[in-house]
Structure 1
């Protein structure tokens, strides 16, 4: 994190952004260890009410603490360590809480917030992200800063915590959230679903999916329990389009190391979606991704790979987005190679020819906020890994990936940590490779 920076001649200080890519997001003074969310959602009126309990430890003595929370949600009550807060304000997407007594460094910070409103996505340079209504139900897709659309949080990927998510909604609807379903209680016209996510999770990966779905086990023979949650009308297409998921899981476990979570769930909404969405332990596809022809299988591979690269190993700064998207894109090529399709080399050659005709105005290791989701980050990131594979050889390259996922399991990562680890797998310097692929705008030759 950046240090406090002096401004002006009056000796005043401001705190530089935690992440310059999203300068309004993230908060100082505490580290969250757990969120407990008790939510009630009315599908017909898109009305959300909730109580969020945030458990944290302070990292310094501060008069007040802030949390990210959309202005679409109105706060009615705040307590700190069991006592009503001395005061709180909710302005410009920040809920700022002043405890009635100062809390020492390393002290316990338990904040309970009661709130309600009509949730809507957060607008930003990358479109709208967060809680969104479907034709019948709701979807949460929060990357990079949409978690604040439905609960108060420290909405930065370096802030990982465990979660308990309880959702009460109309009984006809099925609810999916991160982690294991630990309780389901039906009361007349309403059902409460309680999920426990024990592994640390970044706030943007927290999700709720609500719709007219049925749930079933995909395969009992897969190395990891795999579930499907989807409308009954899409079942036949899903069974064909996603049939190779167990094989895909086996392939990625062999190449990347053990799957990092207890199970894996795919949700298919009744609506079309522009792109699939990853969440921790969950991937979400639209009805349009079930075409009965496996037309989206590369995306199925991409989203599954994010469980390793993005969800277990999560970037500590958004400038390192290639550590998520480049790795997941390369996983598409690896799946093609292992399943009888074009080899990674053939795909890399074709992608390189295409990339050569695009503008040279992107630095992969620091693309800037306006280009962080540019398709060139995905493709150049994958090409970087293919170039590294060629330099190291297959045995060393996949040993590197497996050690990378093991060493940083459920943690946060940086590009420097990856390049430092890669240096242990060769006697030759990799500096020229990293300079060419990560730090220059010009596209290197393969």
Structure 2
């Protein structure tokens, strides 16, 4: 197995990420975000106060945050006014006094503006307006479109989000709803996210949604659905409880307190995962369970991608490979095509594509290439054959349990797989992860 050298120590305005070094910042780690937000839907106007509790990892005379194009009214560090400048999507802050290493401090940013997505090589990402409401889809660089942050997946923090908007609209934020109160024509919703969460997995959904409750189960599951889609939603998500039970059997206990599904009244290109939440477009609901594999895929991300978050974006196959393989496992479990049948079909399709991508390091422009998803799943299927079902599923459960709410790398997964195999898997992973040419797929043809 071939690995890149470790990234250099990050500077004040870089995370040191091998793919997206300009997203995220060095010199400190965030412990908690407290966001007080007021959103006017018609003019798309967001006013906010962000209180960000941090710990310095080096002496700091200045620091930076990732942030979009808002008007900054004032910035305070430790309760005292601080000087600040803007440089593209960086908010550079200079405290009145330098901060020693290990200092606990709070940065407070007051801002107002019209939130809009962040432009990237994958399109516009972040806060976006719907026909009647708003959504947030932040993977991988969209979080600064609505709050100042240290926008790197490895800097996971807890959150409190208070959002006030017009009362006819329902609000879903990634976190547990703690309170809701109405004054005149507006309602304030307060959510808390107590599990360590990366910025890109924080989401806000605002729309005219009716709440849909699933039958009681070990994990609380609920949904926000436009009224016109109730009947089709009930059909398409009718096996949600069974899917949750099946994934818990394979992956271990669901890692959050509840699971929330939001279906927008608009169409979306793809569903979106957030921490404890998945968002689907109206086009993903047709009353025929056409997109049930996507229902499984997004739920699987709660284990792989959300609870276990990549420490660096080049490891993204650990997110998408597991979520894709979950689709195949559910198909097998629910009486559809077996995982072997699906693996063989996708192997043939991937074999026909150019052999020019290493899924352990696909490159920033191809992070979301279909081959990262499908070849990632094929790698796991081949590993299942190499280990046998008992050892493979024991490995998967241990992987999810030991890194729960943490960050992960390919190197760590390889080490744990070798532990459960009881032998070196160097050649196996070199072939599946580091070679553009796929090895032969094991199992019957």
TM-score normalised by structure 2 residue count = 0.96
Q: 1:3: how far off? A: 3.0
Whether the 8 Å contact between 1:2 and 1:16 is mirrored in structure 2 is no
Q: Is the aligned partner of 1:234 residue 2:232?
A: no
Q: 1:3 aligns with which of 1, 8, 33?
A: 8
Residue 193 in structure 1 maps to residue 189 in structure 2: yes
Aligned residues: 436
Give the 3-state SS of the residue equivalent to 1:362 in structure 2.
Answer: coil
Q: Structure 1 residues 14 and 48 mapped into 2: Cα distance closer, same or farther (>3 Å)?
A: closer
1:96 and 2:101 are equivalent in the alignment: no
1:125 aligned residue (121, 125, 137) = 121
Query: In structure 1, what is the Cα distance between the partners aligned to 2:223 and 2:72?
Result: 36
Check the 8 A contact 1:223/1:249 in 2, yes or no.
no
Q: Is the 8 A contact 1:228 1:267 kept in 2?
A: yes
> Alignment partner for residue 408 of structure 2, among 413, 417, 428?
413
After TM superposition, give the deviation of residue 444 of structure 1 in Å: 1.4
Q: Is the 8 A contact 2:9 2:16 kept in 1?
A: no
Verify the 8 A CA contact 1:163 1:196 in the aligned structure 2.
yes
Structure-to-structure mapping, 1:27-106, within 5 angstroms: 27-70=25-68, 72-85=69-82, 87-106=83-102
CA distance in 2, matches of 1:287, 1:272: 5
State the distance in 2 between where 1:425 and 1:199 align.
Answer: 28
Task: Flag structure 2 segments of 5+ consecutive residues without an equivalent.
Answer: 1-5
Partner residue of 2:341 out of 333, 342, 346: 346
- Whether 1:139 aligns to 2:131 is no
Distance 1:284 1:336 in 2: 21
1:178 corresponds in structure 2 to 174
Pairing of 1:328-407 with structure 2 (within 5 A):
328-407=323-402
Deviation at 1:90, TM superposition (A): 1.5
Superposition RMSD on alpha carbons, in Å?
1.3
Which of 103, 111, 115 in structure 1 is aligned with 2:111?
115
Query: Matches of 1:162 and 1:337 in 2, distance apart?
Result: 37
Determine if contact 1:40/1:48 at 8 Å carries over to the other structure.
yes
- Residues 292 and 312 of structure 1: is their aligned pair in 2 closer, same or farther, counting only changes over 3 Å? same
CA contact under 8 A between 2:12 and 2:26: conserved in structure 1? Answer: no
2:151 to 139, 143, 155: 155
Q: CA deviation at 1:14?
A: 9.6
Helix, strand or coil for the counterpart of 1:219?
coil
| Cα distance in structure 2, aligned partners of 1:102 and 1:15 | 16
1:319 aligns with 2:324: no
Pairwise CA distance, 1:352: 0.4
SS of aligned partner of 2:228:
helix
Alignment of 1:275-286 (within 5 A): 275-286=270-281
Cα contact 1:278–1:306 (8 A) shared by 2? yes
For 1:33 and 1:16, how far apart are their aligned partners in 2?
18
Residue 224 of structure 1 pairs with residue 229 of structure 2: no
1:15 Cα deviation (Å)? Answer: 8.1
What CA deviation, in whole Å up to 9, does each residue of 1:221-278 have, x standing for no partner?
x221100101111010000000101000000001000100000000000001110000
User: 1:445 offset after TM fit, Å?
Assistant: 1.1
Residue 165 of structure 1 is matched in structure 2 by: 161
Q: Which runs of 4+ in 1 moved over 2 A?
A: 1-5, 13-17
Q: Partner of 1:8 in structure 2?
A: none
Structure 1 residue runs without a partner (length 5+): 6-12
Query: Is residue 4–residue 15 contact of structure 1 (8 Å, CA) maintained in 2?
Result: no
> 1:431 & 1:331 partners in 2: Cα distance?
25
Work out whether residues 12 and 63 of structure 2, in 8 Å CA contact, stay in contact via their aligned partners in 1.
no
Paired residue for 1:295? 290
Q: Does the 8 A contact of 1:4 with 1:14 survive in 2? A: no
Write out per-residue CA displacement over residues 350-381 of structure 1, whole angstroms, 9 at most, x where no aligned residue: 00011110011100100000111000000000
CA contact (8 A) 1:3 1:16 kept: no
Distance in 1 (CA, whole Å) between partners of 2:245 and 2:12 is: 50
Instruction: Indicate if the aligned counterparts of 1:145 and 1:204 stay in contact, CA closer than 8 A.
Output: yes
